[in-house]
Amino acid sequence: MIFASDNWAGVHPAIAENLARHSAGFARPYGASDLDKKIEAKFNEIFEREVAVFFVGTGTAANALALAAVNRPGGVSFCHREAHAIEDECGAPEYFTGGARLHPVDGALGRIDPELLEKELARFPPDFVHAGQPMAVSITQATEVGTVYSRQQVRTISEVCKLHGIPLHMDGARFANALVSLDCTAAEMTWKSGVDVVSFGATKNGCWCAEALVFLNPSQARDLPFIRKRAAQLFSKTRFIAAQFEPYLENGLWLDLARHANEMTQRLAGRIRTSSAIRLAHEPQANEIFAIISKSEAERLRAGGAVFYDWNSPHSASFELKADEVLVRLVTSYATTSAEVDALPI
């Protein structure tokens, strides 16, 4: 019963097989192979427009390079206070931008509150050199607390961005999970809602190492080849990233995997709703559950073989913990089975 994280899972058989299938033979390195080109074209299809795609090795790389691409002197990027970029990337975004700042914005349920965003942006009057200058807003979709921005919510934030002349980045480490949750197209969730750059994650959803940085307006990606290479993210045998994306993006496998993960979360949430041992901190919308449980019950579950993490309470939590309670995170993935979910003794 592994609910620790979706990155504890392995590689989906179709993807493993395709990696093996492409292992023989020779091909041009550094993204110039036919397979690389084919997958790049596939991204155009998925996003319903010509996009600029850059394969990288980790989600942190995608996020950090997205910000490096829109970097400005004294630059400040706005993201949710609990954003992965702030909490879990060891300063990579600041490092790759040579010191551009991540400015935390609050908001309920893991979503940036657009009014608070406006208020924070107001602290940076144009030409007020002391404060620095806004350079981007970054939202995580699905969010770090398992919720999802609606298309309207994305659009509202993108309008704030436009007002301030800054791009909107979407950290899509769980892009597919959000997409099936919203039941819309990738185009609708991104550029049709005002998103400029996407970290398109596939690793957590059944690949072993397949992330892509997608610029929805290719003209903004002119320097990206240099930005990626300088950041040591240009793989020589990059076709093996392409070889993961190939089955992943074919016949909707990526959506099927995400749908399954989300369903396992709903199945687990259903069990939690009827349990007296544990309660939901808030309603899950993707493949992560945040729940409240007494320390002794958590202990009992772990003794029974369940693996999951205690979690820091968000700064703007909508719940309160009693003294003997903890917040825990339970994540499902493409590899989670109904049997596992049902076996959790809650």
- Binding characters for a copy of itself, 274-313, by CB under 8 A (x = yes): --------------------------------------x-
**Nearest in space to 175 (alpha carbons), one of 109, 257, 235, 234:** 257
Stretch binding a copy of itself (CB under 8 A), from 89-97, 108-116, 139-147, 161-169: 89-97
For tokens 């009827």, the residue is: 274
Burial class from Cβ neighbours inside 10 Å (0-12, 13-18, 19+) for residue 220 reads: middle
- Binding characters for a copy of itself, 93-132, by CB under 8 A (x = yes): xxxxxxxxxx--------------------x---x-xxxx
Q: What are the strands, taking DSSP E only, across the chain?
A: 52-56, 75-80, 101-105, 133-140, 168-172, 197-201, 211-215, 278-280, 288-294, 309-310, 325-331
Stretch binding a copy of itself (CB under 8 A), from 14-22, 109-117, 155-163, 261-269: 14-22
To a copy of itself, the closest distance from the beta carbon of 191 in angstroms equals: 24
To a copy of itself, the closest distance from the beta carbon of 205 in angstroms equals: 12
d(CA 82, CA 86) in angstroms, rounded, equals 7
Single out the residue of 37, 48, 58, 217 in contact with a copy of itself (rule: CB under 8 A): 58
Residue 218 binds a copy of itself, judged by CB under 8 A: no
Residue 269 binds a copy of itself, judged by CB under 8 A: no
Q: What share of the chain is helix, strand, coil (3-state, %, to 5)?
A: 45, 15, 40
Residue 343 binds a copy of itself, judged by CB under 8 A: no
Residue 9 binds a copy of itself, judged by CB under 8 A: yes
**Nearest in space to 289 (alpha carbons), one of 345, 226, 333, 259:** 333
Residue 317 binds a copy of itself, judged by CB under 8 A: no
